[in-house]
């Protein structure tokens, strides 16, 4: 019995110790410049209606914790959403790349406030400074999902004082 007790002592925290030290967020943080493609998908349909193509935008991924980032798409003009922000996206290391996923219910301000609460999901990957992500904004009031596909390149920070 005592050997079983010893084993359980090592598992009290519920996580193997090697997983606790994984720091994934710094691999993806940064500001990315790229293009958005936007489509609408009616509920119950798999047909995408393209409503925006090649729209240039910055997306920022900032560190929240060792394994989480915040995703910010500012001034999203379509449907006057304004800013799309997911406060916590979990970052995982993959083979030569990092992936991130997040979900949050957003209530937009201003003209888009009438749309009510919209569940938003983001999935993405960063590889060699290139970010690809898909943001889905489900708009129950319109019975539509707004799908944003983004591809961008990480911007190199300017040295301060120049």
User: Per-residue confidence of the chain (162 residues) as pLDDT tens digits?
Assistant: 544 444 444 444 454 444 455 889 999 999 999 999 999 999 999 899 999 999 999 999 999 999 999 999 998 877 778 899 999 999 999 888 999 999 999 998 888 888 889 999 999 999 999 999 999 999 999 999 999 999 999 998 665 554
Give the pairing type, strands 30-42 and 68-76: unpaired
What local confidence, expressed as pLDDT, does residue 21 receive? 54
123 Cβ neighbours under 8 A, 6+ residues apart: 99, 100, 101, 133, 134
What local confidence, expressed as pLDDT, does residue 113 receive? 86
Q: Can you name the residues that pair with 136 across neighbouring β-strands?
A: 121, 147
SS3 state of residue 117: strand
What local confidence, expressed as pLDDT, does residue 22 receive? 81
CA angle 64–68–70, rounded 5-degree value = 60
| Contact of 92 with 100, CB cutoff 8 Å | yes
Tell me which residue of 32, 84, 37 sits closest to 59, measured CA to CA.
32
What local confidence, expressed as pLDDT, does residue 93 receive? 93
What local confidence, expressed as pLDDT, does residue 10 receive? 46
What local confidence, expressed as pLDDT, does residue 44 receive? 94
């Amino acid at each position: 019995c005592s050997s079983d007790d010893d084993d359980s002592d090592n598992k009290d925290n519920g996580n193997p110790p090697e997983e606790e030290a994984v720091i994934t967020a710094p691999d993806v943080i940064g500001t990315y410049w790229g293009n958005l493609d936007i489509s609408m998908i009616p509920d119950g349909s798999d047909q995408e209606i393209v409503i925006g193509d090649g729209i240039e935008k910055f997306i920022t991924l900032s560190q929240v914790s060792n394994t989480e980032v915040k995703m910010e798409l500012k001034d999203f003009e379509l449907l006057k959403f304004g800013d799309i922000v997911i406060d916590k996206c979990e970052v995982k290391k993959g083979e030569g790349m990092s992936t991130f996923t997040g979900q949050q219910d957003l209530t937009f301000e201003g003209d888009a406030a009438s749309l009510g609460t919209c569940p938003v999901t983001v999935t993405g990957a960063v590889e060699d400074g290139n970010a690809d992500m898909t943001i889905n904004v489900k708009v129950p009031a319109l019975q539509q999902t707004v799908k944003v596909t983004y591809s961008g390149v990480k911007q190199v920070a300017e040295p301060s004082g120049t």
